[in-house]
Amino acid sequence: MEVNNSESLVTWFLQNAPTIWITAGVILSILEFFIPGILVVFFGIGAILTGIAAYFFAIGLSTQIMIWLASSMALLLTGGQVLKKMFPSSESFQPPTDFDYYDREVKVVKKILVNKKGGRVSFQGTEWDAISFDAEIPRGKKARILSRDNLTFVVISASKNPEN
């Protein structure tokens, strides 16, 4: 088929809209396997619903696009809530409190300097910036957390008592 101008392209699209929308919906739904996040499938289902509407009703291109966007957003909002209830998270995130890290012993992974940032410690499987105000702590040694300043732990050598 040869398309001579944009008007005949729109006519061709409107004649084949159900097939195009349903095909696009199936492709988007299949893409969900390759693009994680369960977002693309809602747009795919919206496209399939638009194809079904275009099959049963004579609607224009702009109306089809509006149906696709509206149905995709409605599915995204309601489907996301339903999926959260069906597959609840086994973990929840709570911001750490002082009690979560105070006086905990950690391993020094990069030499901790006195009054200079640049040192690193390993705490709960993650590396954190660390600083000491009294003595350098070499890599491989243990340190004790005194406090936290934003994303930097203030530490002392684990061999020292924090009350001193």
Q: How confident is the model over 110-120, as pLDDT tens digits? A: 999 888 888 99
Region 117-125 average pLDDT? 88
Domain 98-157 in CATH: superfamily? Nucleic acid-binding proteins (2.40.50.140)
Which residue spans of the chain are classified as CATH 2.40.50.140? Answer: 98-157
What does the block give as tokens for 41?
A: 């499938």
Instruction: With beta carbons less than 8 A apart as the criterion, state whether 22 and 68 touch.
Output: no
Lowest model confidence (mean pLDDT) among 14-23, 88-97, 155-164: 88-97
* pTM of the shown model: 0.50
Share of the chain above pLDDT 70, in %: 86
What average pLDDT does the structure give for the chain? 84
Q: Which residue has the higher pLDDT, 43 or 159?
A: 43
pLDDT confidence tier of residue 164, bands split at 50, 70 and 90 = very low
pLDDT score recorded for residue 26: 95
**DSSP3 helix / strand / coil % (the chain, rounded to 5):** 45, 20, 35
Separation in Å, CA 138 to CA 83, 103, 110, 160: 48, 19, 7, 14
